[in-house]
Amino acid sequence: MVTGAAGATINRLPVLLLPGDIFGSRLPAPVLQQLESPYSQDVSVNDCFKPISRYWDRIYRPEQLLSALPEAMRVLTSPAETGAVTLALPQDVQAEAADCPVGFFEPRVWTVPRVRGDAESLRRAAAAVRASRRPVIIAGGGVLYSEASCALREFAQRHGIPVAETQAGKGSMDWEGPMAVGAAGVTGTSAAAALCRDADLVISVGCRLSDFTTGSKTAFQHADVRFIAINVVEMDAFKQGAVPVLADARAALEELGGLLADFSTADDYRARVHALRTDWMTEAERLTAATGAAPMAQAEVIAAVNRAAGRRDVVVCAAGSMPGDLHKLWRTTDPKGYHVEYGYSCMGYEIAGGLGVKMAAPDRTVYVMVGDGSYLMMAQEIVTSVQEGYPLIIVLVDSGGFASIGALSRSVGSGGFGTDYRARNPATGALDGDLLPVDLAINAESLGARLFRAHDLASLEQALTAARAADRTAVVHVPVDPALRVPGHGCWWDVPVAEVSEQPAVGEARERYDDGRKLQRYFP
C-alpha cells in the first residue's frame, strides 16, 4: 500500500486508502500495526503514510468521519492537490455505531473544476511564443488528465510547433501526426532530442519537467532558451523560471491559441521538424526490424505486440529497460492506450496495474509487458485476474536476469555484478556460477494462466494470436537477448560514477560522466 500510495501522489491520481490501525482503547496491545515506540503510544505503521499522502487522518471516534470525509473528498477531487488520501481506522472504532445526520448520506456530486488561466500570464505567454523561432512543446500527463489531446494536436498543427511527450504524456499525440516527434528526454527519440537541444522556447503542458524529461538539466542548450509552463500545480508552473500559466491544459491551450491567432513558425522550421521526424521513423523501423535471431531483441518483441494490438488496446509496463524502449517505439493511436508507470522504478506493478486497467476498461484488450526481474516481484495477481474473470495478455520478456540494472552497472564500470540468474561460484565466491534452473513460464501456468511459448518472430506472432483468443489470462513467454539493446538518442542522464577507483573501466566511465556534467544548466 505504501508504494501504491506514493505512486498515486507523485502522479496526482486520487486514491482513498482505509488501513486498519491500533485500537482506540489501547487495551489490546501490541497489535499488528503497532510499533511500540518508547516515546509515544500514538504511533503505528500507518504513520508512514503521512509524508506520501495529500491528506491523512486517524479516526478515533466514528463521528470524526463527519469532518474527515468531506476533507478527503475535497482533496480527491482537486486537480492540483489530489493524490493518496489515508484515513486510518482503529480496529475497535471500525465496529462502533454512531448517530449521523441523515443529510450526510444523501448523494452528492463533486465537480472537478477546469481552471482558467490569468489573462496577464496568458498575454505574456503569447508574446513569448510570437517572439520564438524554434519553439517545442513537451506534453505531460496533465494533457491526458484534462482531455486536451485534440486541443493539443490542433494547436501544434495550426502554429507549427512540434510536440515531444513524457512517459505520462505519451498518447497525447498520434504516432502518425505531422507535429509528433515522439518521446522526450533520456528515453527519447533523436528528433525530440535535437529539437529540444536547439529550442529557444519550451512550452511545458501538464508536465513536471522531471529529471528524465530534462536529461538532468542538459536537454536544452540554446543560450537564450525560455520556458512557458501550463499547469494546475503552482510548483510545476514556476519551474525553470518559466512564464507560469496556472490553468487546466485544455482551457489554456484554447485561450492561448486565441491570442496567437494566425501565428505560425516559419516554413524552414516546419521543414526541419519534418526531416527530423522522418529520420526518426527510419531509425525506429531499423530498431524494430525482424532480425531472425533467437533469442530475439526486445525491440522486435515490442513491435510484434504493437502490431497485434488493436487501436483501442492498452499496453501496461513499469520497470526495467522496457519502459524506455516502449517510450521510444510504441506507436500510440489512442490517448488511453499507453499506461507505463515509472515512479520509484516500481518493479512488480505491471500485472497488478494491468488488472486495474482491465477492471476500469473491460471493453479493451490489455497487454502487460513485464520483464523477468519485475515478474519475480509480484506475479500473484494472475490468480486474481483468473478468479475475477478479467483476462490479460501478459508478455513475459525473459532476459535471464536484471538486464536493465546490469546494463546500467556496466555503463559506470561496475561490470553488472549479480544481475544474472546464476549460482554463487564456490571457487570465486562471485555470482558467476552455473545458470539457475528458473522457468518462469511454468510458474505463470501454475497460477492459472494459459501458457504460450515463443522463441522467434513467427512463434511469437502465433502465440499472440492464440493468447487473444484464450478463455482467461494468457502468458506469452519469450526469451530475449539482453545484449541487443535500443541505444540512447542524444540525451544524457546524471548517474554518478565513483571519482576514485582502481578499476580502469570505472575511471573511463568517470571521464564520460564529467564530460556530461559540463552540459548541465541552471535556469533561475
Cα(63)–Cα(108) distance, integer angstroms:
19
pLDDT at 3: 86
- pLDDT for 48: 95
Cis amide linkage into residue 496, ω under 30° from 0: no
Q: Which helix (H) or strand (E) holds 17?
A: strand 15-17
Residue 72 CA: distances (Å) to CA of 2, 60, 69, 75, 92: 18, 16, 5, 5, 22
Q: What is the pLDDT along the chain (524 residues), one digit of tens a residue?
A: 898 899 999 999 999 999 999 999 999 989 888 888 889 888 899 999 999 999 999 999 999 999 999 999 999 999 999 999 999 999 999 999 999 999 999 999 999 999 999 999 999 999 999 999 999 999 999 999 999 999 999 999 999 999 999 999 999 999 999 999 999 999 999 999 999 999 999 999 999 999 999 999 999 999 999 999 999 999 999 999 999 999 999 999 999 999 999 999 999 999 999 999 999 999 999 999 998 888 999 999 999 999 999 999 999 999 889 999 999 999 999 999 999 987 777 889 999 999 999 999 999 999 999 999 999 999 999 999 999 999 999 999 999 999 988 999 999 998 888 899 999 999 988 888 999 999 999 999 999 999 999 999 999 999 999 999 999 999 999 999 999 999 999 899 999 999 999 999 999 999 999 999 999 999 88
- Of 178, 165, 138, the C-alpha closest to 335 is 165
Task: Scan for cell 526495467, then name that residue.
Answer: 320
The C-alpha R_g of the chain, in whole angstroms, comes to 25
Find the farthest-apart pair of alpha carbons in the chain and give their distance in angstroms, rounded: 76
Tell me the C-alpha distance between 232 and 238, whole Å.
Answer: 11
Sign of CA pseudo-dihedral 261, 267, 271, 272: negative
Which H/E stretch holds residue 360? helix 349-360
Q: Is 448 helix (H, G, I), strand (E, B) or coil?
A: coil
Q: What is the 3-state secondary structure (H, E, C) of 109-140?
A: CCCCCCCCCCHHHHHHHHHHHHHCCCEEEEEC
> What does DSSP assign to residue 435?
B
What is the model's pLDDT at position 242?
Answer: 97
**3-state helix vs strand vs coil in the chain, percent to 5:** 40, 15, 45
* Residues whose CB falls within 8 Å of the CB of residue 369, separated by 6 or more in sequence, listed in order: 302, 305, 315, 316, 317, 322, 326, 350, 395, 397
Which residues, listed in sequence order, are joined to residue 28 by a DSSP beta bridge? none
- Find how far residue 303's CA is from the centre of its chain: 20
- Element containing residue 226 per DSSP (H, E): strand 226-231
Number of Cβ within 10 Å of residue 311's Cβ equals 8
Beta-carbon contacts of residue 523 (< 8 Å; ≥ 6 apart): 217, 220, 225, 227, 240, 241
Domains and CATH numbers, the chain: 2-105 (3.40.50.970), 119-281 (3.40.50.1220), 289-400+438-479 (3.40.50.970)
DSSP 352: H
Q: How far apart are CA 398 and CA 229, in angstroms?
A: 40
Query: What's the distance, CA 394 to chain centroid?
Result: 18
Q: Is pTM, for the whole model, over 0.85?
A: yes
